[in-house]
Amino acid sequence: MKEFFIKASIFSFLIGFTIFGVIYLPPIDPDRYIMALVDKHRLLETTPQPRIIFAGDSGLAFGLDSRMIKRATGYNIINMGLHGGLGLIYSMDELKPYLRKGDIVIFAPDYTHYMGTGIGDNTLVEVTILFPWIIRYYSKENYMSFISNIPLTFQRRLRGLLFKSKELSTHRRSKFNEFGDNEGHIGMPQPEFKGKEYIQRYLPQVANLNITRFLPDRVNVELVKHLNAYAAYCAAQGVSVYITFSPLMENDRPNQERMLRSLEKDMWAHIRMKVFGDAVGYIYPKKYFFDNEFHLNGTGREIRTRMLIETMKQVPELAFAPKQQVPLSR
């Protein structure tokens, strides 16, 4: 029996070491999209106050013109938007080491986040390849997700070693500007749109289903708890925290308006972050989106940013940076 346990322990160690080695030891292409996180964390470290930190997902990375916001308000802008798979809890956790008294944080997540509890997916494991120390700031919920997604990350990394894949030129680290905005898609030809028709090519049965994007009419109760706990944390640090709305591709607009009004009302009633903006105003036609319903194209990005600035001007704290009497010329 003792010999069995020794062999089992050795076998388990070898399996664990193999998994660890495949995930963490092979180098990562320095220009991969996810590597932009390195630069974003550098911005958190070095960008001086007064500053506004935008937090969200890839919709924010593709859909925000931080330079325009800086010119209009005088604030230094950091765009932390990168990947929806990280989850809202991670978006809150990763900022904690960098927050300073007087900072302003604005969350602008896609509506799909409000359906869940804020927990991330296998991307949580991939991030620790870049920043092993960041796991110290993971909430307990993300620890469980981290562990459960190790097998999937192992498979993805192993497949990447065996079969090299190439990211789109519009999705590269080098395409992010000095504020953390992805500009790789600006002025580029419209690629194949990954909507329902695209999915049907691989799943023909989808054609017989009346699938439209699901919109929640309220925020998940567990997510509300996390958002409110974070609002309390920021208040204790002297940090102002806001939440606003993301773009939505127009599809059955009457129903979308009904759902968004309900969601907005629920946010005002239960989230202790300062809510601003008009969700319905961010419903845009398909022509303003790039490769999917989450990523705006150049024109949509400009329209969204101008609308965001207009709503920021209605909030005294966001309208102008301290000691900034007038906006900079455009």
pLDDT in tens, 49-66: 999 999 999 999 999 999
- For 189, the domain range is 27-318
Residue 52 forms part of a structural domain: yes
Q: Which residues pair with 240 in a beta bridge?
A: 104
The answer for residues whose C-beta is within 8 angstroms of residue 240's C-beta and 6 or more apart is 103, 104, 105, 234, 274, 317
Q: How confident is the model at residue 162 (pLDDT cuts 50, 70, 90)?
A: confident
What is the rounded average pLDDT of the residues 107-123?
93
User: Phi/psi at 106 (nearest 5 deg)?
Assistant: -120, 115
Residue 3 forms part of a structural domain: no
Residue 91 forms part of a structural domain: yes
Give the tens place of pLDDT for each residue, 254-300: 999 999 999 999 999 999 999 999 999 999 999 999 999 999 999 99
Q: How many domains does the chain have?
A: 1
CATH number of domain containing 36: 3.40.50
Residue 132 forms part of a structural domain: yes
Residue 330 forms part of a structural domain: no
Q: Which long-range contacts (CB under 8 A, 24 or more apart) does 313-318 make?
A: 313/72, 314/276, 315/242, 315/274, 315/276, 317/104, 317/240, 318/52, 318/73, 318/104, 318/106, 318/242, 318/276
Residue 312 forms part of a structural domain: yes
Global confidence as pTM: 0.88
Residue 201 forms part of a structural domain: yes
Residue 54 forms part of a structural domain: yes
